[in-house]
């Protein structure tokens, strides 16, 4: 691009058909609000000005899109009215103005760049419309072109005659404008229609009437997908997951059953990583090279370092940091805990608010008792520690390097380096008790059977 770009994202829609108390653009796709995907695609174009148009009482959107500034469209009177609301952002701008929608999470930077480039031409048309060719054109406005490819009109499906309905090129809604013409076009748009709204698509006919050029930039069908229902949200999620799976595999990861692995948009996966079936990555997860992740794991806000093995059935919660070569096994939950190099916790364990050194073995059934009902407390475990099965570590507590904790212990005080800590009652034994007990119970059972009717 040789011309500066300004980007406006229209996100004021309430999303009535979503049947939700949340603004439509806040519904997540791949772990992020759908509007975040649109902003990321636009940000890659390095716009010199930018803004998001929202509706009243949408402070949650303002927070989500920051540092993009927001302006409020108090009365939602159409897409052209939304751009008029943002006049303070685009006034005096003579570059290219992109108008995109916050409910189109599948749009890519490449397509937005192509749309802007359609205006960034020597003859500088007043506007360009993003077009696409769906298999089923029902309900879409048709883009009517001249023989030399210039756009003459957008005709809504309901208004199209039989010939026009055979046109396969449809309106995706997103548009690019010559900033020098935008104000003139918007001011000429009226609301003489059934809904009394100001439609941005009317800018095409107005531009042509004024002798200005109007063109079309075609994009992929999936990128034009706008989200208005939960079903459409699910379709967008499926498309996005396909992209993310391809990204991981193209980056050098092996997905044993790709269709069952779910990524967040920000998941980072290294090379020579193997991911088993039914693994879910929540937001902010980093997987370094040569990691093996077995089936049925769930991760959020965690780091898995080089060569570690995790799973099956493991859960990493926020703040989990699994060290190089460490092993986290089945039914182990880790939260706000650092696991040192080569350490292992292979079975049925909860490690929360802990710091665990290198080469330590955590036995089955171990629990860091980190919460006293009011505050969380830290458990610190040193290097080369052996923790026996069914151990409870009552925080705050420190376990020194190379120490041993006997199985079944409840540790409430610090353990010194190289020490053995045991906390359990003395075992007692009554010879013959079990034999006598079985005899008594058998006689009791037989007596009850005789009294039954």
> Which candidate, 297, 308, 307, 380, places its Cα nearest to that of 337?
380
Name the β-bridge partners of 381.
356, 399
The pair of structure tokens assigned to 33 is 């609000």
Residue 351 near residue 334 (C-beta atoms within 8 A): yes
Give the separation between CA 69 and CA 56, rounded to whole angstroms. 15
Note if the bond before 67 is cis, omega within 30 degrees: yes
End-to-end CA distance of the chain: 94
Question: Exactly one of 150, 157, 347, 377 is catalytic; which is it?
Answer: 347
Distances (CA, A) of 226 to 24, 61, 219, 378: 11, 18, 14, 47
Stated as kind and residue range, the H or E segment containing 136 is: none
Q: Respond yes or no: is residue 27 known to be catalytic.
A: no
Q: With contact defined as beta carbons under 8 Å apart, do 360 and 384 qualify?
A: yes
Residue 303 tokens, joined:
């780091």
Q: What tokens appear for 85 in the block?
A: 């609301």
Using DSSP, state whether 278 is helix, strand or coil. Answer: coil
Instruction: Indicate the SS3 state at residue 194.
Output: coil
Helix pair angle (230-250, 34-43), 10° resolution: 50
How many CA atoms does the CB half-sphere of 176 hold within 13 Å?
29
**DSSP of 247-295, one letter per residue?**
HHHHTT-EESSGGG-B--TT-EE-TT-EE-SS-EE-SSEEE-TT-EE-S
- Which residues are part of the catalytic machinery? 347
């Amino acid at each position: 691009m040789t011309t500066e770009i300004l980007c406006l994202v229209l996100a004021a829609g309430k999303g009535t058909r979503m049947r939700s108390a949340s603004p439509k653009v806040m519904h997540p796709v791949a772990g992020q609000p759908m509007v975040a995907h649109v902003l990321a695609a636009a940000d890659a174009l390095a716009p010199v000005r930018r803004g998001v148009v929202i509706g009243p009482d949408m402070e949650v959107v303002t927070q989500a899109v920051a540092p993009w500034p927001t302006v409020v469209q108090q009365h939602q009177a159409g897409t052209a009215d939304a751009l008029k609301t943002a006049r303070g952002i685009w006034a005096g701008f003579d570059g290219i103005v992109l108008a995109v929608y916050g409910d189109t999470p599948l749009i890519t930077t490449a397509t937005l760049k192509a749309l802007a480039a359609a205006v960034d031409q020597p003859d500088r048309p007043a506007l360009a419309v993003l077009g696409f060719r769906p298999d089923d054109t029902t309900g879409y406005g048709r883009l009517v072109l001249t023989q030399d490819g210039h756009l003459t009109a957008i005709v809504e499906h309901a208004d199209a005659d039989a010939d026009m309905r055979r046109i396969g090129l449809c309106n995706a809604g997103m548009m690019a404008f010559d900033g020098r013409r935008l104000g003139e076009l918007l001011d000429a748009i009226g609301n003489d229609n059934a809904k009394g709204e100001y439609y941005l698509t009317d800018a095409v006919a107005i531009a042509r009437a004024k002798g200005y050029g109007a063109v079309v930039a075609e994009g992929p069908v999936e990128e034009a997908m706008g989200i208005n229902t939960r079903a459409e949200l699910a379709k967008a999620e499926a498309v996005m997951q396909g992209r993310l799976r391809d990204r991981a595999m193209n980056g050098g990861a092996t997905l044993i059953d790709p269709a069952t692995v779910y990524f967040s948009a920000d998941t980072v996966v290294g090379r020579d990583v193997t991911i088993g079936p039914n693994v879910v990555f929540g937001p902010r997860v980093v997987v370094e090279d040569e990691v093996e992740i077995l089936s049925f794991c769930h991760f959020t806000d965690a780091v898995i370092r080089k060569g570690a093995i995790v799973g099956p059935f493991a859960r990493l919660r926020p703040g989990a940091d699994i060290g190089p070569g460490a092993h986290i096994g089945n039914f182990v939950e880790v939260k706000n805990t650092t696991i040192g190099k080569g350490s292992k916790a292979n079975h049925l364990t909860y490690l929360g608010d802990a710091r665990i050194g290198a080469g330590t073995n955590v036995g089955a059934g171990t629990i860091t008792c980190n919460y006293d009902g009011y505050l969380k407390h830290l458990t610190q475990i040193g290097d080369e520690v052996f923790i026996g099965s069914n151990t409870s570590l009552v925080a705050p507590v420190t376990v020194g390097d190379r120490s041993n904790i006997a199985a079944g212990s409840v540790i409430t005080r610090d353990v010194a380096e190289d020490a053995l800590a045991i906390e359990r009652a003395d075992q007692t034994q009554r010879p013959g008790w079990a034999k006598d007990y079985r005899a008594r119970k058998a006689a009791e059972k037989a007596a009850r059977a005789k009294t039954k009717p």
